[in-house]
């Protein structure tokens, strides 16, 4: 649905986005990852036509941006707020109407979402009377109420309690099933790992990693096998696909080559030793990214709480 090619954006002294390319199809959740200040939000703003790119092209279903497209985009900005003094329902209706929705339809949809998020009784209240989590629900509603084709969520889970995180994740999966193209940016790797189909890690404006989650893991991860057994395990270091082995009394840690065939290894073990535990340890995205981006002096960048 969305194709971004060689995107570039310069601010006064820095290149915020440098030669970034990615694709997102319908029914796909795309995770845009990176440490704070990596250029995620800038890239998102360019995709949304809020900022103009200094170079590169973006096409939406093969066409360049046009005014009509605005009605098919939903957007949840990173730093969030609403009109504090305005009423809940009024605010939702306004933001739906400027996306081209008819008022009556917008009202039906708004009430449906409010009911789902358990906020129906608040509809005539002022936004400022709501808790932060509830305000975030309202913002989420406003970003999807008009049934957009492309949904862009900048750090959708930050500041949410676990219950609401699950609520949002469910909603995201529904959107995916409904064939939307979804971009969400995050610096929480576990979220990205759970939700995204494809992802892209940006650091200092550049794409460092990209592809499907499995691809990324396969390419950059070094799989290791953890086995617990009874018997003599010394044969394990010479099995095909095992690069390195640490054999203990009743356990072994095996580093596997990328092309290792797990099934064959398991078959070879059966009969020779009595296996109690056979566990393939996949590297987490977290460890891949820390390895790729590196940890700057003075802090963890990927888990930053900001």
Considering the complex, what minimum distance in angstroms separates the CB of residue 70 from other proteins?
Answer: 6
147 or 228, CB closer to other proteins?
Answer: 147
Give the tokens for residue 163: 């219950």
151 or 175, CB closer to other proteins?
Answer: 151
Give the tokens for residue 277: 């535990």
Considering the complex, what minimum distance in angstroms separates the CB of residue 305 from other proteins?
Answer: 19
Tell whether the torsion through CA atoms of 88, 92, 94 and 95 is positive or negative. Answer: positive
Q: Which of 293, 290, 284 is nearest to 203 (CA)?
A: 293
Please report, in angstroms and rounded to a whole number, the separation of the first and last CA atoms in the chain.
Answer: 31
101 or 192, CB closer to other proteins?
Answer: 101
Binding site for other proteins (CB under 8 A): 45, 48-51, 67, 70-71, 73, 75, 77-86, 90, 94-95, 97-100, 142-143
Question: Rounded to whole angstroms, how far apart are CA atoms 40 and 16?
Answer: 9
β-pair partners for 251: 228
Considering the complex, what minimum distance in angstroms separates the CB of residue 78 from other proteins?
Answer: 8
138 or 236, CB closer to other proteins?
Answer: 138
Considering the complex, what minimum distance in angstroms separates the CB of residue 23 from other proteins?
Answer: 21
Considering the complex, what minimum distance in angstroms separates the CB of residue 18 from other proteins?
Answer: 21
- Helix boundaries (H) for the chain: 40-47, 88-97, 103-116, 132-144, 162-177, 189-195, 213-220, 262-269, 285-293
Give the tokens for residue 302: 């990927």
Q: What count of other Cβ atoms lies within 10 Å of the Cβ of residue 257? A: 13
62 or 81, CB closer to other proteins?
Answer: 81
81 or 271, CB closer to other proteins?
Answer: 81
- Phi and psi torsions of 225, nearest 5°: -115, 135
Considering the complex, what minimum distance in angstroms separates the CB of residue 206 from other proteins?
Answer: 23
- Distances 61 to 24, 145, 190 between C-alpha atoms, Å: 10, 21, 30
Considering the complex, what minimum distance in angstroms separates the CB of residue 149 from other proteins?
Answer: 14
39 or 241, CB closer to other proteins?
Answer: 39
186 near 192, Cβ under 8 Å?
A: yes
- Phi and psi torsions of 236, nearest 5°: -65, -30
């Amino acid at each position: 649905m969305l194709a971004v090619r060689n995107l570039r954006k310069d601010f006064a002294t820095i290149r915020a986005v440098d030669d970034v390319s990615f694709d997102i199809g319908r029914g796909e959740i795309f995770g845009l990852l990176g440490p704070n200040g990596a250029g995620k939000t800038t890239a998102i703003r360019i995709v949304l036509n809020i900022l103009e790119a200094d170079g590169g092209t973006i096409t939406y279903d093969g066409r360049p941006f046009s005014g009509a497209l605005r009605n098919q985009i939903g957007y949840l900005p990173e730093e969030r707020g609403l009109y504090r003094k305005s009423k809940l329902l009024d605010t939702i209706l306004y933001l739906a109407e400027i996306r081209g929705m008819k008022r009556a339809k917008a009202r039906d949809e708004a009430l449906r979402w409010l009911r789902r998020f358990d906020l129906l009784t608040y509809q005539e209240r002022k936004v400022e009377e709501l808790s932060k989590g509830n305000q975030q629900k309202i913002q989420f509603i406003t970003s999807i109420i008009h049934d957009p084709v492309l949904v862009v969520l900048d750090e959708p889970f930050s500041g949410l309690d676990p219950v609401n995180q699950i609520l949002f994740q469910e909603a995201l999966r529904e959107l995916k099933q409904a064939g939307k193209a979804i971009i969400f940016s995050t610096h929480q790797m576990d979220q990205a790992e759970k939700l995204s189909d494809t992802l892209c890690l940006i650091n200092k404006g550049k794409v460092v990693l990209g592809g499907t989650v499995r691809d990324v893991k396969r390419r950059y991860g070094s799989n290791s096998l953890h086995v617990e057994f009874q018997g003599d395990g010394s044969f394990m270091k010479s099995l095909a696909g095992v690069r390195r082995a640490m054999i203990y009394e009743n356990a072994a840690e095996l580093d596997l080559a990328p092309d290792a065939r797990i099934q064959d290894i398991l078959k070879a073990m059966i009969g020779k030793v009595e296996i109690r535990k056979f566990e393939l340890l996949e590297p987490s995205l977290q460890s891949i990214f820390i390895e790729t981006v590196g940890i700057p002096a003075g802090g963890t960048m990927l888990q930053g709480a900001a």
